[in-house]
């Protein structure tokens, strides 16, 4: 699991066209902490998944850019799956579970 630290890194990853899973995480929210644990568990067991995260408080401009560029309402926590440079799925809060991540990644390969 890699951390996005710039617009350039995010844009390059999305423009590669590969499947990319992203978690927008809030470091101050207990619900986000639970979602982060689910995400981390999933990523540790599925090392073939191109997984990233960003901490909203550390990079609000990138978080806002993602919401605006892909026309999805900002939420945190929020998991987003990109395929071929487009958002194919997103979920927030308690809908971010190991099983939801597994099913979504499998369905969108």
Query: What's the pLDDT band for 35 if we cut at 50, 70, 90?
Result: very high
Q: How far is 21 from 49, CA to CA, in rounded Å?
A: 7
- Please compute, for residue 107, the number of CA atoms within 13 A of its CA located in the half-sphere on the CB side: 9
- Domains: count for the chain: 1
DSSP assignment, residue 48?
A: T
- The rounded mean pLDDT for the chain is 96
Residues 6+ apart with CB under 8 A from 48: none
pLDDT in tens, 55-100: 999 999 999 999 999 999 999 999 999 999 999 999 999 999 999 9
Domain that holds residue 61: 2-107
Closest CA to 58 of 26, 36, 13: 26
Domain of 63: which CATH number?
A: 3.40.30.10
Q: How far is 97 from 47, CA to CA, in rounded Å?
A: 17
90: alpha, beta or left, given left = phi > 0 and alpha = psi -120 to 50? beta
Helices (H), the chain: 7-15, 30-45, 60-69, 98-107
Provide the pLDDT for residue 8: 94
* pLDDT, mean of residues 14-30: 96
DSSP assignment, residue 94?
A: G
Question: Is the model's pLDDT at 22 over the cut of 90?
Answer: yes
Question: Is the model's pLDDT at 5 over the cut of 90?
Answer: no
């Amino acid at each position: 699991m890699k951390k996005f630290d710039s617009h350039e890194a995010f844009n390059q990853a999305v423009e590669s066209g590969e499947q990319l899973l992203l978690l927008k995480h809030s470091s101050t929210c207990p619900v986000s902490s639970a979602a982060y644990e689910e995400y981390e568990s999933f990523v540790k067991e599925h090392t073939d998944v191109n997984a990233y995260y960003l901490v909203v408080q550390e990079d609000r401009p990138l978080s806002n850019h993602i919401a605006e560029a892909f026309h999805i309402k900002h939420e945190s926590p929020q998991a987003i799956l990109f395929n071929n440079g487009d958002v194919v799925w997103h979920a927030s809060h308690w809908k971010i579970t190991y099983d939801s991540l597994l099913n979504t990644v499998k369905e969108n390969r």
